[in-house]
Amino acid sequence: GDKVKQSPSALSLQEGTNSALRCNFSIAATTVQWFLQNPRGSLINLFYLVPGTKENGRLKSTFNSKESYSTLHIRDAQLEDSGTYFCAAPYRGSALGRLHFGAGTQLIVIP
């Protein structure tokens, strides 16, 4: 089964509103990474997290390793936030970038 499950699979947001994306792990994740794939296809690294919280502008991410989930909060959504958001966690025992990826959340921000 899927080691990394993302929800929702798709989401429409009105510009200026807030939302949260979720990532659940069936593996013992020690770190998590969040990426945004923009409409051109480029993958941008948003966060690299150990257990805890990080914030960057209108984005905030939390990783709870004990309960095996991570969330990505988007505040005051803008049109340029549209794209597909992926979370990923490393293979067990691997310190390298071998990552299990979720299937993504496709976000559309509407004017």
Partner 1 sequence: GGIITQTPKFLIGQEGQKLTLKCQQNFNHDTMYWYRQDSGKGLRLIYYSITENDLQKGDLSEGYDASREKKSSFSLTVTSAQKNEMAVFLCASSMRSQNTLYFGAGTRLSVL
Contact in structure between 71 and 62 (CB atoms under 8 Å) = yes
29 counts as binding partner 1 under rule CB under 8 A: no
* Strands of the chain, DSSP E: 4-7, 10-14, 19-25, 32-37, 43-49, 52-56, 59-64, 69-74, 83-90, 99-101, 105-110
28 counts as binding partner 1 under rule CB under 8 A: no
Q: Which of residues 17, 18, 42, 78 is near partner 1 by CB under 8 A?
A: 42
45 counts as binding partner 1 under rule CB under 8 A: yes
34 counts as binding partner 1 under rule CB under 8 A: no
R_g over Cα of the chain: 13
**SS3 state of residue 55:** strand
Residues shown for the chain:
111
Q: Which of residues 55, 98, 108, 110 is near partner 1 by CB under 8 A?
A: 98
Minimum distance, C-beta of residue 13 to partner 1, in the bound complex (Å): 20
94 counts as binding partner 1 under rule CB under 8 A: yes
Q: Which residues bind partner 1 (CB under 8 A)?
A: 4, 31, 33, 35, 40-45, 48, 86, 88, 90, 94-104
